[in-house]
Amino acid sequence: MSEQDLEICPASAGLADCPGFRVAGVSCDVRNKGDNRLDLALFVTEPEAAAAAVFTKHALPAAPIQLGRDSLAEHPFLRAVVINSGNANACTGADGLEDALRMRGVVTKELGLPHESLVLVSSTGRIGERLPMERLTKGIAEGASRLTSDSTEGERAADAILTSDTRRKVATIRFRCQGKTLTLAGMAKGAGMIEPNMATMLAFLATDAAVDPAFLKTALREAVQDSFNAITVDGDQSTNDTVLLMANGHSGVFLETDRDRSLFTQALRMLCQDLAEKIVGDGEKITKVVEILVEQAHSKAEAEKAARAIGNSLLVKSSWYGNDPNWGRVADAVGYSAAAVAEDTLEIYYDTVPAFLQGKPCWENREQWRKIVAEPRFTLRVVLGQGDSSYRLLASDLTEGYVNFNKSE
Amino acid sequence: MSEQDLEICPASAGLADCPGFRVAGVSCDVRNKGDNRLDLALFVTEPEAAAAAVFTKHALPAAPIQLGRDSLAEHPFLRAVVINSGNANACTGADGLEDALRMRGVVTKELGLPHESLVLVSSTGRIGERLPMERLTKGIAEGASRLTSDSTEGERAADAILTSDTRRKVATIRFRCQGKTLTLAGMAKGAGMIEPNMATMLAFLATDAAVDPAFLKTALREAVQDSFNAITVDGDQSTNDTVLLMANGHSGVFLETDRDRSLFTQALRMLCQDLAEKIVGDGEKITKVVEILVEQAHSKAEAEKAARAIGNSLLVKSSWYGNDPNWGRVADAVGYSAAAVAEDTLEIYYDTVPAFLQGKPCWENREQWRKIVAEPRFTLRVVLGQGDSSYRLLASDLTEGYVNFNKSE
């Protein structure tokens, strides 16, 4: 396949960019603050979309997760999705499950859909509080009346799912298939609690390709591994994480051949990686993003352990914040990560500049490291010299601002 | 055994309190700052002491760790220990090992000992830099000339091993055995990188009881599990961790009976827990210590996982700093800890006040939680309702001061 087959669009309106999707973003004061903050997104697809999702592995999944997981397992097709921010509907017990069911019922009724299982509910925000059902019900009605494929409404929908994010996260990719231009588009939210198995993050992805549910599921799982599961802000995971992918076949193009499927897989990974990078780049009060590459590990699992030990070390993250290379703390994190490593095979590089080689620090490069670590984005390459497996993790620094921001809600 | 059998002394001079030990603390400018900071401790025991140690499990152990581990495995007896702060002699390769050997040689010669293996070397401080051997050699000579059992010198020795600690950490316990009063005394350092498997922490413990090396080793391992391995400040471990216990038999009392050994084990655990609590209480820029009790877990391993997930969650630690109870973040951490848990059996208490019971938040107690979390020390009890195993972890909060302090060295 040629480069022309795939293109990331310079501008995106999120799901509104995908043919067959209509979206809405409204304000219904979930947080009960009397402000006009957008906090409810609704979208509908025609025709019905095959759907696949990756949900949090959390042992206390929020009510909408329990509902969506069961529903999609039984019937992997959707017509509509409703998402609220400001309240996670987590740790809310049987009451919370009832609220999620009611929310789904209201959407089904407002849109005149034949089955409740055609609607997915998603929530994000504070844990342990009941949803404000009356205000949500009004919001859903208003959303239903606003549904459109206009860019502005796509942006409103993408804004409505944000919590402590400071920026909208949307991406659109076009790819050529069977002589037609198809679309993959998505919106996401991130900010805090970002680590493996996705943490408090939501992503809603859509394509107008026709894809069977089984392949959709496989492709999504693979793409999530290399993107949303390979970022870390604070190591915390959450009760509500969801990545949903819908394929409505609006284009009439069915992905059957290996070439088509491979192209789609590639486009999906690009979309997920683009959104994942936007999430880590907007981590709570961060000042930089570090790409951690662990190479020559004994196994991929060990490469990942080493990368996460580095990316989650408070000492390493604090030193990045202070523009201090401090490769010693990096070596320390690798050493307790449970990955096999030896002092005389370990190599540490800032971008391409060596900091530690063959058991010795390269102090002569110190000024170069300092400049690199002062950049808003750099690569930390750690070579273990034990095998041929590698892992890539995007991590943020840790700032005084993060602690201050999270010291109370 | 009665309560009179065991007593924590209100004042301690560390190892100087243990009969048969002479100590010294000197300044030899390891950090090359031209200040008079105490940075070298030396102590000697007569008679020779049986010795047991627990060393870091780090994959890149510092040079003195490699040396001490091999030496004690072969010959578990010591006459002297030398410790420097300011430089960890870690990630220094063959050169570092040679420096550690030289340091041991200098002590052997200065004290006129028959074998180098009777000396243990220990270092803590920056990673990746060579030791200043000339200044250390002078310092050791000065230390040898100062050796005494005076309290003031004991305090100087305890001060000399500190790095970013703000307070001296010493403890002394007296216990009655076979009609005599025996002593267990120790000094420790902590501050940053404090987590399982001891992190950058050193502790040197001494008793005048006569104990065979095999029992000494078992007793020490058990005591370390419940004390130094059950604290967390930032989740980072280090290249240099060491807990050393020496028994010189100066009292002439040999611990043979089950009663004697049980009493000793109990005294040793008390000593280790006292020093461990002092370490976490002096974590870098912390404002409070939280005792996390996880109960009714499926297994002890799961109880520990849940406790560590809570105690290492940046969001949980930040909220403690802000005096914000935020039990939702606690439930979140438990849920991703890989410990079995269910919403309707989970219980969360601040001290004895319930915050979450039978699947529901106890909002009516909110003001009480707030008061408790504002205290400098409180207990967070988390009941999983899955089995009968439990785990206790002492954790600190995370502050803006910690990040600021560690952003550069």
How does pLDDT run across B230-262, given as a tens digit for each residue?
776 655 566 788 899 999 999 999 999 999 999
Q: A197 — alpha (psi -120 to 50), left (phi > 0) or beta?
A: left
Instruction: Verify whether residue B124 is a known catalytic residue.
Output: no
Whole-number percent of chain B with pLDDT over 90 = 73
Residue (of B120, B363, B125, B104) closest to B244 by Cα position:
B120
Q: Do B327 and A406 touch (CB under 8 A)?
A: no
- pLDDT per position as a tens digit, A96-122: 999 999 999 999 999 999 999 999 999
Q: Do A93 and B406 touch (CB under 8 A)?
A: no
Q: Do A324 and B236 touch (CB under 8 A)?
A: no
Q: Do A236 and B327 touch (CB under 8 A)?
A: no
- Using a CB-CB distance cutoff of 8 angstroms, which residues of chain A are in contact with residue B359? 91, 93-94
Q: Do B192 and A315 touch (CB under 8 A)?
A: yes
Count interface pairs A-B at CB distance under 8 A.
205
Q: Do B398 and A399 touch (CB under 8 A)?
A: no
What DSSP string runs through B139-167?
HHHHHHHH-B--HHHHHHHHHHT-SS-SS
CA distance B73 to B82: 18
Name the residue in chain A with its Cα closest to that of B63: A343
Amino acid identity, residue B52?
A
- pLDDT per position as a tens digit, B295-351: 999 999 999 999 999 998 888 999 999 999 889 889 989 988 889 999 899 999 999
- Do B351 and B290 meet the contact criterion of CB atoms below 8 Å apart? no
Catalytic residue from among B183, B200, B232, B399: B200
Name the residue in chain A with its Cα closest to that of B193: A315
Residues forming a β-bridge with B50: B77, B247
* CA A250 remoteness from chain centre: 25
Q: Do A331 and B91 touch (CB under 8 A)?
A: yes
Distance to chain B for A265, nearest Cα, Å: 29
Would you state the pLDDT for residue A198? 38
Distance to chain B for A292, nearest Cα, Å: 18
Name the residue in chain A with its Cα closest to that of B324: A408
Amino acid identity, residue A285?
K
> Using the 8-state DSSP alphabet, how is residue A119 labeled?
E
Distance to chain A for B289, nearest Cα, Å: 16
CA distance B275 to B172: 10
For residue A380, give Cα distances in angstroms to A149, A347, B407. 42, 11, 17
- Using a CB-CB distance cutoff of 8 angstroms, which residues of chain A are in contact with residue B313? 235-236
**B331 closest CB neighbour out of A127, A235, A334:** A127
Would you state the pLDDT for residue A409? 65
Name the residue in chain B with its Cα closest to that of A88: B328
Q: Which CATH superfamily is domain B3-281 in?
A: L-amino peptidase D-ALA esterase/amidase (3.60.70.12)
Q: Do B57 and A336 touch (CB under 8 A)?
A: yes
ω into residue A19 within 30 of 0, thus cis?
no
**B332 closest CB neighbour out of A127, A334, A407:** A127
Q: Do A314 and B356 touch (CB under 8 A)?
A: no
**B318 closest CB neighbour out of A59, A126, A407:** A407
CA distance B37 to B160: 8
Q: Do A332 and B406 touch (CB under 8 A)?
A: no
Q: Do B332 and A239 touch (CB under 8 A)?
A: yes
- Mutation pick from B315, B317, B334, B360 vs chain A, by most beta carbons of A within 10 Å, is B315
Contacts of A295 (CB under 8 A, 6+ apart): A303, A381, A382, A383, A384, A390
- Using a CB-CB distance cutoff of 8 angstroms, which residues of chain A are in contact with residue B409? 319, 324, 326
Domain ranges for chain B, please list them.
3-281, 289-406
Residue (of A298, A295, A390) closest to A339 by Cα position:
A298
Distance to chain B for A252, nearest Cα, Å: 41
Distance to chain B for A259, nearest Cα, Å: 38
Q: Do B403 and A343 touch (CB under 8 A)?
A: no
Distance to chain A for B180, nearest Cα, Å: 44
Name the residue in chain B with its Cα closest to that of A56: B336
- Using a CB-CB distance cutoff of 8 angstroms, which residues of chain B are in contact with residue A313? 235-236
* CA angle centred on B258, ends B257 and B264, rounded to 5°: 95
Distance to chain B for A369, nearest Cα, Å: 14
Distance to chain B for A409, nearest Cα, Å: 8
What DSSP string runs through A387-408?
SSEEEEEEEE---HHHHHHHS-
Name the residue in chain A with its Cα closest to that of B198: A336
Residue with tokens 């994959």: B59
Radius of gyration of chain B (CA): 22
For residue A293, give Cα distances in angstroms to A308, A380, A393, B237. 11, 6, 7, 21
**A343 closest CB neighbour out of B93, B360, B361:** B93
**B238 closest CB neighbour out of A57, A332, A338:** A332
Report the first-to-last Cα separation within chain A, whole angstroms.
50
CA distance A319 to A315: 6
Residues in chain A where the model's pLDDT stays below 70: 1-4, 191-200, 232-238, 409
For residue B327, give Cα distances in angstroms to A206, B58, B217. 36, 33, 40
- Do A187 and A157 meet the contact criterion of CB atoms below 8 Å apart? yes
Residues forming a β-bridge with B356: B348, B361
- pLDDT per position as a tens digit, B346-402: 999 999 999 999 888 999 999 999 999 999 999 999 999 999 999 999 898 998 888
Kindly indicate the confidence band of residue B197, based on its pLDDT and cuts at 50, 70 and 90.
Answer: very low
- Mutation pick from A56, A58, A66, A91 vs chain B, by most beta carbons of B within 10 Å, is A91
Name the residue in chain B with its Cα closest to that of A193: B315
Interface confidence (ipTM) of the complex: 0.79
Residues forming a β-bridge with B87: B124, B126
pLDDT averaged over chain B?
Answer: 91
- Using a CB-CB distance cutoff of 8 angstroms, which residues of chain B are in contact with residue A337? 59
- Mutation pick from A343, A386, A398 vs chain B, by most beta carbons of B within 10 Å, is A343
Query: Per DSSP, which regions of A35-155 are E strands?
Result: 40-55, 77-87, 119-126
Whole-number percent of chain B with pLDDT over 70 = 95
Residue B226 pLDDT greater than 90, yes or no: no
A401 phi and psi, to 5 degrees?
-60, -40
**B356 closest CB neighbour out of A91, A236, A398:** A91
Q: Do B398 and A403 touch (CB under 8 A)?
A: yes
- Using a CB-CB distance cutoff of 8 angstroms, which residues of chain B are in contact with residue A99? none
Task: Report the 10 Å Cβ neighbour count for B267.
Answer: 25
Catalytic residue from among A200, A207, A232, A239: A200
CA distance A162 to A101: 23
* CA angle centred on B212, ends B209 and B215, rounded to 5°: 100
- Using a CB-CB distance cutoff of 8 angstroms, which residues of chain B are in contact with residue A400? 400, 403-404
CA distance B375 to A317: 28
- Using a CB-CB distance cutoff of 8 angstroms, which residues of chain B are in contact with residue A408? 319, 322-324, 326
Distance to chain A for B94, nearest Cα, Å: 8
Would you state the pLDDT for residue A194? 46
Would you state the pLDDT for residue A8? 92
Kindly indicate the confidence band of residue B157, based on its pLDDT and cuts at 50, 70 and 90.
Answer: very high
Name the residue in chain A with its Cα closest to that of B321: A407
Class assignment of domain A289-406?
alpha beta
Dihedral angle sign, alpha carbons of residues B363, B364, B367, B370: negative
